[in-house]
Structure 1
Amino acid sequence: MGFCEKRIQLAHLYGEQVTHEQQKDRARGQLAHQRYLEDGLSSRGDRRCFVATCVFGQDALETQVLRQYRDAVLLRCRLGRWIVGLYYRTSPSLCAHLVRSAAAMDATRRLLRVVVAGCLLHIARRDEQ
């Protein structure tokens, strides 16, 4: 945001003149930004985990672990963000296939349990350091 030079000069000479309405709006905006930031850094903010939700359920432990791994590890590097973006583009169609095939659902469930175990180990090692 930019300010005109005159406003900066007046604020310097007379102090910041903020009305009660502006104070309320500023506080509301700061609270909204804080919530947005917290949602972006926590698993509550982005609950998209299509395949795990399809296979295990929305609030299953496995789904929560995968979300935690995404937030704590993948979203913190460029390659990880690219992988997550690719996953978001392809996983809805994968889920449509899984719903139609019990064998594919079972195989995916077994594979994801191995992935979840690896994610848990990686997170535990990271936390130890």
Structure 2
Amino acid sequence: MKSLHKQSGIALGGVVFLTLLVVFAGLLFVKMSGHYFDQYTMKKMIQTSLEGQTVSRFSESDFVSRLGKNMEMNGIEIDLKKNFTYDKSKTPPLLVIDYEKREHLFLNIDVVMSFHQEYEL
């Protein structure tokens, strides 16, 4: 006599779906992780450069020059003239870096990552 019980396990369609999901998540991680690592590196460079700086001793041109050299050594490509602002009107003054990175995934699908950091002087 045959026993009637529910089949357990996953169907072929489920295996294909899970495989595609894992591949898509891996693709996102590989494509996006570099930009987030660059942001983390730049954040550390800025914090290190601002240590011990005061408003009276701060030179915007020296800071941008030093940050640009550090970014060049680390292979970070961001236009500081366009994405870096120094707001002297606020107390304490603010350094603001605001930029977007666009990464092509596949076909006509792109990922846009937006980064915004404010640093008090």
From the CA coordinates, give the structure whose radius of gyration is larger.
2
TMscore range, shorter length: 0.3 to 0.5
Q: TM-score, normalised by structure 2?
A: 0.35
Higher strand residue share? 2
Higher helix residue share? 1
